Amino acid sequence: MPLEALFRQLVKLRRWTYGSGLKRVSRFPVPIIVVGNLTVGGTGKTPLIIWLARFLRERGFKPGIVSRGYGASPGRRPLQVSKNSSARAVGDEPLLIARRTGCPVFVFPRRDEAAKALLDNMDCDVILSDDGLQHYALYRDLEIAVVDGSRRFGNGRCLPAGPLREPVERLNSIDLSVYTGEGPPGGYVMSLEGETAVNLQDEDVKEPLRSFAGCDFYAIAGIGNPQRFFDHLRSLGLRFDRREFPDHHGYRAEDLAFAKGRPILMTEKDAVKCRDFAAANFWYVPVEARLPAEFGENLLTLLKAKCNGPKIA
């Protein structure tokens, strides 16, 4: 509890230093949309980033994406992500985003430097910042918070007494909040749908997930909220042995040797780290985000209005 009080004061001080101009906020000639969350752990940011990139491109925009690239080793300069990049070099989530969207993606711990590299090298007219809600060095025109619809904000306390990176009141300054699974009345609820398994060794081979009913298989997950993946499989009537790995786990072939030829179903985020040693029994389950039409309409309205002033006050 005393450490939580100290953490809250540090968060408040940090926001003030950027809001007051004591620390520099990098501005860019294109609008910046920041997607993030208040809690530690997975909330569904990556599927939302993919949805946003596709939505904007379908409406004539040329989006680019910047990310920290958790666990990546980009070196001293921002690194561009391609569909053939190594997850160890660029991070699992940026690699997944690049493969699914086809949009230019740059990674670097300082997202403002990644944004500069993106604009210096690519033709983009809007930037999506992945998991950048607390990265105040990057100016933002719009902020979108993703909230786990079932876990919400836990005990409502900040680190280390609870799961919050910032107090819940921070939502009052957010432009749009998206809830995964379930949300409050009138809230924007994002559902994640995926009923097909893709073979990791040969991605042209696909099977309905329900075809694994009655099959003796393993389900693995190394994501922020693995229970969501397991619950999804169970909702389709599947029974399996589960194995959990730490979020962003760097898989090696020996990690999955326990299967002994039995099918393994994994998330797409896990799959990008297992391609180099994929076996015929490796399958992944891609998911698609679904959002109400009103969310897209309001997003476009806000984007075209281009909020004035940095969103850090």
- The predicted-structure confidence for 212-262, as pLDDT tens digits, reads as follows 998 999 999 999 889 999 999 999 999 999 999 999 899 999 999 999 999
User: Does residue 312 surpass a pLDDT of 50?
Assistant: no
Q: Torsions phi, psi of 302, nearest 5?
A: -65, -40
CATH hierarchy code of domain 2-191+290-305: 3.40.50
Q: What is the pLDDT of residue 310?
A: 47
Of the listed ranges 64-73, 83-92, 166-175, 297-306, the one predicted with least confidence: 64-73
Q: Report d(CA 33, CA 30) in Å as an integer.
A: 10
Q: What is the pLDDT of residue 309?
A: 45
Q: Report d(CA 291, CA 268) in Å as an integer.
A: 20
User: Does residue 132 surpass a pLDDT of 70?
Assistant: yes
Mean pLDDT (the chain) is 93
pLDDT category of residue 74 using cuts at 50, 70 and 90? low
Q: Which of 312, 289, 310 is nearest to 54 (CA)?
A: 289
Q: Which residue has the higher pLDDT, 214 or 295?
A: 295
Domain ranges in the chain? 2-191+290-305, 195-286
Q: What type of residue is 28?
A: F
| Bond from prior residue into 185 cis (ω within 30 degrees of 0) | no
3-state SS assignment for residue 156: coil
Residue range 200-220: mean pLDDT, rounded? 96
Q: Report d(CA 99, CA 82) in Å as an integer.
A: 7
User: Does residue 118 surpass a pLDDT of 60?
Assistant: yes
User: How many residues can be counted in the chain?
Assistant: 313
Q: Report d(CA 75, CA 169) in Å as an integer.
A: 36
Global confidence as pTM = 0.92
